[in-house]
Structure 1
């Protein structure tokens, strides 16, 4: 049985003049947990404790989120990857297994691409960047009138009632509403103008009204040089679980589909999630960066794929 959630105090460090919030607990090999858009490090609160029994766990609030500063700055995926590198450097951490959820999965892939010498393994959880489709609610954030609509929708007069309604629907246990408890937290965070502005800036870098336009599928063949695991909830209504199948056809062959789970599988089934991550790390030696191999792989491009996914193969259901 999984341990009760561990309450870890936020710590703070200033990098490039901006305050960065993060949680750090445990000992052993380092796991870097990167949350999704409009979330913060508390999204990992059900798994940080159990993971810290095996690893040093670092869970930051990305810039523009949670208790980190929210400047009018760089909210691109590359900028976030640079920010993670700088945070790790300040904390004296050289190499990590990086775990990214949703938008954080895109950051995790970008980090591994930009800094392969610092990446031991990658875990992608309901990740962005593996397909175009995404829920209309997120696409709507890119529309011209979105800032005004968000401000009105989160007005103090009805904010408590909307949040309570979302949490009530989440408590029904229906697959269609299971993620609304987390949506309620995101909704409440939008009450802060700086948070809305940061999310607006972030979305402009990765998607438009038609969906995600930033993808890493043209570079996933590089995953042959490091272990990668993909985890998805079968009932995900934010980014469809079909993107997990897409991953299989782009060299990411260790794909786990979780039944009875939505966009937040690490919250729906924390015990299973912790077990998968722990086993993945134990069974896959850390990647070792070799410049010559990296250069050769880049020169050959996707023709360097050494294994072909069988047409009959399918993601593991766990």
Structure 2
């Protein structure tokens, strides 16, 4: 774990070295949480797979940027980070907010992205939205700051395993997660405000795996079907669960992810 200066922005980064002959996996997290939220996933992945993860500006251990940012600019910064780390090409997995950033990176930094995994995410401002109560709870970082509040809203907000074990969500989001200042959360909201991938998804050339939960209040399942329909080389995998199953029950999704990353490329 280290902090790297990338174009004047300090980013807290962790790299798990893997087999140098395999393409490493870059992880892009959801809104408001530091990269420790990926710990259960990283532990479940093949140890021979190299993993790169970082805290978004203003989240976790990455300091607040001087100004707000947008997805295209952050995608360029990620490319610069890969230069600093010495990686030419990566596979990318993004969940929720990170899934939007992953789509942007795959499009504008296409030579740097071999394959793309999109988990519990959609096409941005043009998508089938969550219900009003869920959206209202998403506009503040309170659930990251107040474990009691998180427990009270976990089932309604995250669905899936959170409906039967609210403490599981608390452990995933509070055990080792460093949130950062509230303004960092606002900057993340602004990064995706008005953004949509609808116009460019048909031009993605990468093979893409879309993972969509059948009980995800934040990203209704129809959004997975929309993504898969718009992306030329996409495979849709529906799983039983909600928004946080990637961290709450990684063994549910890891087999599909690893099979996708290691399969022979399409002709």
TM above 0.5: yes
Q: Does the residue aligned with 2:209 lie in a helix, a strand or coil?
A: strand
Do the aligned residues in 1 keep the contact of 2:122 with 2:224 (CA within 8 Å)? no
TM-score normalised to the size of structure 2?
Answer: 0.82
Indicate if the aligned counterparts of 2:42 and 2:51 stay in contact, CA closer than 8 A: yes
Q: Residue in 2 aligned with 1:111?
A: 105
Shift of 1:132: 4.3
> Deviation digits for residues 164-195 of structure 1, max 9, x if unmatched?
6567999x986546677547876999997x62
2:55 is the counterpart of 1:61: yes
**2:205 is equivalent to residue 214 of structure 1:** no
Q: Which residue of 2 aligns with 1:282?
A: 262
Report the equivalent of 2:130. Answer: 134
Q: Residue 254 in 1 paired to residue 240 in 2?
A: no
Matched, 1:14 2:1: no
Change (3 A) 1:137 1:44: farther
2:218 maps to 238
- How far apart in 2 are the matches of 1:265 and 1:202? 22
Moved more, 75-84 or 95-104: 75-84
With over 3 angstroms needed to count, the CA separation of the structure-2 counterparts of 1:185 and 1:47, relative to structure 1, is: closer
1:160 and 1:233, CA in 2 relative to 1: closer, same or farther beyond 3 A? closer
Aligned counterpart, 1:202: 188
Q: Is the 8 A contact 2:155 2:166 kept in 1?
A: no
How far does residue 276 in structure 1 lie from its aligned partner after superposition?
A: 1.2
The verdict on how the C-alpha distance between 1:244 and 1:237 changes in structure 2, with shifts beyond 3 A counting, is same
Q: 1:89 to 1:180 in 2, by over 3 A?
A: farther
The alignment covers a number of residue pairs equal to 259
Indicate conservation of the 8 Å contact 2:202/2:231, yes or no. yes
CA-to-aligned-CA distance 1:116-152 (integer Å, 9 cap, x gap) = 111101100111325141354674489xxx7xxx59x
Whether 2:28 is the aligned partner of 1:34: answer: yes
Counterpart selection for 2:209 from 218, 229, 252 = 229
Return closer, same or farther for 1:189/1:18 CA change in 2, 3 Å cut-off. farther
In 2, distance between residues paired with 1:134 and 1:119?
29
Verify the 8 A CA contact 2:11 2:63 in the aligned structure 1: yes
How far apart are 1:99 and its partner, in Å?
Answer: 0.5
1:180 to 1:108, Cα distance in 2 relative to 1, 3 A: farther
TM-score, normalising length: structure 1: 0.70
SS of the residue aligned with 1:46? Answer: helix
Q: Which has the larger radius of gyration?
A: 1
Distance 2:218 2:121 in 1: 10
Aligned to 1:49: 43
SS at match of 2:76: helix
Show structure 2 runs of 5+ residues with no match: none
Distance 1:173 1:254 in 2: 22
**In 1, are the aligned partners of 2:172 and 2:248 still within 8 Å (CA)?**
no
Q: Please tell me whether the aligned partners of residues 163 and 184 of structure 1 are also in contact (alpha carbons under 8 angstroms).
A: no
